[in-house]
A and B are shown apart, each in its own frame.
Chain A
C-alpha cells in the first residue's frame, strides 16, 4: 500500500460508523456473532463493523474479547 492509499484510507469516514460507545455497548453480542458467523455479524451490525475498521482502540478491545471467547470454547 502506498502513502496515498494509506492517507486516503485514514481520512475517509463512513456515515454508518456508530462510534465507540455504541460499539462497546454491544461488543459482547457482536463478538459471539463474529465467532459463529462473521459475515452475518457484519451484515447485522454494519455500523459496528465499520467502526472497528476505523478505530484502533475499539478494534484492540474487540480482538481481546474475541480471543477470550475463543479460549473458552
Chain B
C-alpha cells in the first residue's frame, strides 16, 4: 500500500488561520473556570447528538435494542469528550473544529460497535461456510457448472497461497461475514492491521486466479 497521498501533511493551516468559531472553541476549552466548564458542556452535548445520530444511522444493520443503542451513544460521547480534550493541542486547523470533533464521536461509535459484536455474534465460529459464498457473490445456483471451477480454485488458493493469519482473517470476514472491526477485537489487533492482511491476501488470491486462467481472461468463460 502507498505510504501516503501526495498532499498529506501539506494542508496544515496554522491556528492563526482557523475560522473564528473554531478559534473560540480553542480559546474557551483551553481556558479555565466557568467559561471552560460551559464550553466542555456544550462540547459534550454536540458529541452526544452526533454519536446518537450515528448510532441511529447504523441501527438498521445492527442487532441491538433501543437501550443498547442509547448506551453505545452515551459511552461514545463520553469517551470522545475525553479524547478531544486530551488531544486539543493536536488540532491544526485543517478543518473546522467541529468537523474534527465529530470525527471523534463517529470513530468512538464505530469502535464500540466492533466490540459489541461479540456479545451476541449470531455467527457460528466453527466451520468455513464455503456454501454461502456463491450466493453472496451473486452467482446463480442454476449456473453452478459455470462458476464451480472458479470457486474451487479460489478455495484451493486460500488453502495453498495464504499464510495462516491471512487465511484466518479471510475466513472470518469473507466466509463468516464477521465485521473487520470485530475481527480486530478478537485477534487483539486493529482495523489497519486486519485491512493490510486482507489486502495482501486479496492480491495473492487474485494473482493465483489470474495465473490459473479463472479471472482477467477476456472473452473465455465470461459469456
Contact = CB atoms under 8 A, between A and B. Distances in A.
Contacts of A24: 107
B145 to A, nearest CB: 13
Given A28-B103, A47-B5, A60-B110, A3 B57 contact: no
Interface in A27-49: 27-29, 31-32, 44-48
Interface in B104-118: 105-107, 109-110, 114
Interface of A: 1-4, 6-8, 10-13, 15-22, 24-29, 31-32, 44-48, 55-58, 60-61, 63-65, 67-69, 71-72
Interface of B, helix, strand, loop or mixed by DSSP: helix
Contact of B192 (A7, A19, A29): A19
Contacts of A25: 8
Contacts, number: 137
Contacts of A46: 5
Contact of B138 (A3, A47, A60, A72): A3
Contacts of B139: 2-3
Given A13-B202, A28-B99, A29-B11, A20 B138 contact: no
Nearest to A3: B139
Contact of B206 (A13, A17, A63, A64): A13
Contact of B215 (A1, A11, A17, A56): A11
Interface in B152-208: 154, 179-181, 190-192, 195-196, 199, 202-203, 205-206
Interface of A, helix, strand, loop or mixed by DSSP: helix
B216 interface: yes
B26 interface: no
Contact of B209 (A1, A11, A56): A11
Contacts of B209: 11
B32 interface: no
Contact of B102 (A19, A48, A56, A65): A65
B58 A60 contact: yes
A63 B58 CA distance: 10
Interface string B121-144: 000000000000010011110000
A36 to B, nearest CB: 11
A28 B203 contact: no
